Chains A and B, each alone.
Chain A
Amino acid sequence: MLEFNAPLSTDVLVVGGGIGGLCAAIASARTGARTMVAEKADTRRSGSGATGNDHFACYYPKAHGSDIRVILKELRQSLVGAYHDEKLSLRFLEESIHMVDRWQEWGINMKPFGDDYEFMGHAYPGRPRIWLKYDGHNQKQVLTRQAKKEGVEIVNHLPVIDLIEMDGEIAGALALDVSKDTPTFTVIRARKVVLSTGTANRLYPAAGSPGWPFNTAFCPACTGAAQAQAWRIGAKMVNMEMPNRHAGPKFFARAGKSTWIGVYRYPNGKLLGPFVDRATRYVGDITCDVWNSAYTDVLLNGSGPAYIDCTQTKPEDLAFMREGMISEGLTTLVDYMDRTGLDVSRHAVEFMQYEPHIIGRGLEIDIDGQTSVPGLYAAGDMVGNFRADIAGAAVYGWIAGGHAGASAASCELKNAETSPWVAERAQLYSSFVERESGAAWKEANLAVQQIMDSYAAAGPHRLRSATLLTAGLKYMADLRKNAINEISVPDAHSLMRAIETLDLMDNGEIVMHAALERKETRGMHQRSDYTFTNPLLSDKFLEVWQENGTVRTEWRQCWN
């Protein structure tokens, strides 16, 4: 068995120091609760917002007027708008501008163009624009500095690998110290836990580079840890069966398509969409937010490829776009373009649809960000019934952290390290280190991807069915057994990757269980055995969870 360090104790433990986690931690600390962030890497540069972002969804009454429902409609019709419990969306919108004010005060430039907030991009012509354009290149450093200033304890290189539940409520977490080559365990006792581990990547083969799992648009260190860990202790998930696929340049997977200011064209010059024939910094071409599968469709029907053409964008807007790419954290792309002579004023860049990943699907939360496990909260990309990406993580992180902090004092701190679950999980993970030779974690990760791609594929043009999903579940269980019996790791880093791979297996199984139960075709969940969309399910969400080792599912009405 690997060694255990002395247990740590805190009132509120935040799992993951991304945007949601750091905002949760600051809010928690402001209530007076002792607050700790356990982070896999280093909060100054971790997660999908590591090097920046530039669009923050927000309701600003001064610009948008007093009717919040007008902005709610825009949010729901945006690329992040599917699968919301609207009472959460409304709370998010109500609080969003206050979060923007805080970020501005802390040192993230939310007003890069003058004295007031400006809204640009991801917008329909003639409709209100809800995405505040900001310069987030330093967002992680600023949030880290602010968290420390507020008294938050940040422990880097300490990924949480399991949650500990005792007497029906959260009691803490088991973490893996990866700061040295030899891994050790640390139990963190906590009265409340806020999960904020981001998107789940590496679940399907990378669309651009199959067999190369790290060419992903979102941070590939994020592997659905929150969903997997919460699933293992019985938390409810929603919408896990609904695939999401992002899009961007081909073959270098990168998010931020609305930072590009251009129009999408077929090779014969025809526009893909009906929205604009010339893009500006205010209104770009929203076609692919609406027609999400465009790049795959045109490739598979032979009419592609599809390009983004910025050549008719005004020079001042092209300069603005370059600055936007730096704000968005796309400096690798900017450097590459400079080095290779790729010039968007002369060249059209092919775009593609990336592989399915999990964002805006996962943990079901209530209006305060609490999951179905008492004392366990979630905020950010791994929440299943609300999504607003960066802004969603920040605002709901703030809400969840504030609620957790304020209610922590009423809970008792338990000796989480005495839970038999800790010993069981530690023994499993230790066995990978103790085994002198065997399978590499990467073999298991590729196997997960192969199974998901074959048996739980996402549309367009790929189908699921009861027989395929049932086979996929059988094969994933076989893989898990083989992986547990055969994986061998040489060091702490590889053990972390192996545990991520086990988390991906849980995510895959949740997806397949839920996909089996959703007996209809909707979005990119396309069933060959249920080819229609069932209107009776339009205002319902599918909950899925484990109870004493048995998978349960239940349909519920959306919370409007």
Chain B
Amino acid sequence: MPPIIHADRCTHCGMCATICPMNIFKHEKGQTPKVAYPEECWHCNACVLDCPAHAVELRLPLNYMVLHVDADTLHA
């Protein structure tokens, strides 16, 4: 469920909620923001980049796997 906020590091500043292009967070003053609309995440990484406490991590859903092969198979 992207993104993941590590409550132990979160300083409750609300920056992730403020800057999210998709408005997916809900934030009450003094609390760790909640990911209220996880399915609407664009996975742009803005929350990760802008968190001053480095408390946000972004997990890509399984269906976003980046398909790849060993390039040697193309050169055989």
Query: Considering the chains assembled together, what is the distance between the CA atoms of A336 and B46 in angstroms?
Result: 15
CB distance from A321 to the nearest CB of B (A): 15
Instruction: Tell me, yes or no, whether A50 is within 8 Å of chain B by CB.
Output: yes
Query: Considering the chains assembled together, what is the distance between the CA atoms of A493 and B23 in angstroms?
Result: 8
Instruction: Tell me, yes or no, whether B43 is within 8 Å of chain A by CB.
Output: yes
Are the CB atoms of B66 and A251 closer together than 8 Å? yes
Are the CB atoms of B23 and A157 closer together than 8 Å? yes
Are the CB atoms of A249 and B66 closer together than 8 Å? yes
Known interface pairs A51-B45, A267-B73, A307-B69. Does A332 touch B60 (Cβ–Cβ under 8 Å)?
A: yes
Are the CB atoms of B23 and A41 closer together than 8 Å? yes
Known interface pairs A331-B45, A493-B37. Does A252 touch B71 (Cβ–Cβ under 8 Å)?
A: no
List residues of chain B with CB within 8 A of the CB of A31: none
Are the CB atoms of B64 and A215 closer together than 8 Å? yes
Are the CB atoms of B58 and A332 closer together than 8 Å? yes
Query: Considering the chains assembled together, what is the distance between the CA atoms of A209 and B71 in angstroms?
Result: 25
CB distance from A244 to the nearest CB of B (A): 19
Instruction: Tell me, yes or no, whether B39 is within 8 Å of chain A by CB.
Output: yes
Q: How many chain A residues touch the partner (CB < 8 A)?
A: 52
Q: In the complex, which of the residues B45, B49, B58, B74 contacts A267, with contact meaning CB atoms closer than 8 Å?
A: B74
Are the CB atoms of B18 and A42 closer together than 8 Å? yes
Are the CB atoms of B74 and A41 closer together than 8 Å? no
CB distance from A454 to the nearest CB of B (A): 23
Query: Considering the chains assembled together, what is the distance between the CA atoms of A335 and B69 in angstroms?
Result: 19
- Point out residues on B near A: beta carbons under 8 Å: 18-23, 26, 36-37, 39-46, 48-50, 58, 60, 63-71, 73-76
- Point out residues on A near B: beta carbons under 8 Å: 40-42, 44-47, 50-51, 156-157, 178, 181, 208-209, 212, 214-216, 219-221, 249-252, 265-269, 305, 307, 309, 311, 329, 331-333, 335-337, 340, 342, 346-350, 493, 496-497
Are the CB atoms of A209 and B44 closer together than 8 Å? no
List residues of chain A with CB within 8 A of the CB of B71: 307, 309, 311, 346-348
From A266, which residue of chain B is reached at the shortest CB distance?
B74
List residues of chain A with CB within 8 A of the CB of B65: 251-252
Query: Considering the chains assembled together, what is the distance between the CA atoms of A219 and B45 in angstroms?
Result: 12
User: Taking chain A's interface residues, is the majority helix, strand, or loop, or is none over half, making it mixed?
Assistant: loop
Known interface pairs A252-B66, A329-B44, A342-B68. Does A309 touch B18 (Cβ–Cβ under 8 Å)?
A: no
Are the CB atoms of B69 and A347 closer together than 8 Å? yes
Known interface pairs A251-B67, A269-B74. Does A47 touch B60 (Cβ–Cβ under 8 Å)?
A: no
Please give 16 more A-B residue pairs, beta carbons under 8 A apart, in addition to A50-B21, A335-B48.
A40-B23, A42-B20, A45-B19, A157-B23, A214-B41, A219-B21, A221-B42, A252-B60, A252-B64, A265-B74, A267-B74, A311-B71, A335-B58, A342-B68, A347-B68, A348-B74
CB distance from B48 to the nearest CB of A (A): 7
From B75, which residue of chain A is reached at the shortest CB distance?
A269
List residues of chain B with CB within 8 A of the CB of A269: 74-76
Query: Considering the chains assembled together, what is the distance between the CA atoms of A349 and B66 in angstroms?
Result: 7
List residues of chain B with CB within 8 A of the CB of A266: 74
Query: Considering the chains assembled together, what is the distance between the CA atoms of A250 and B22 in angstroms?
Result: 22
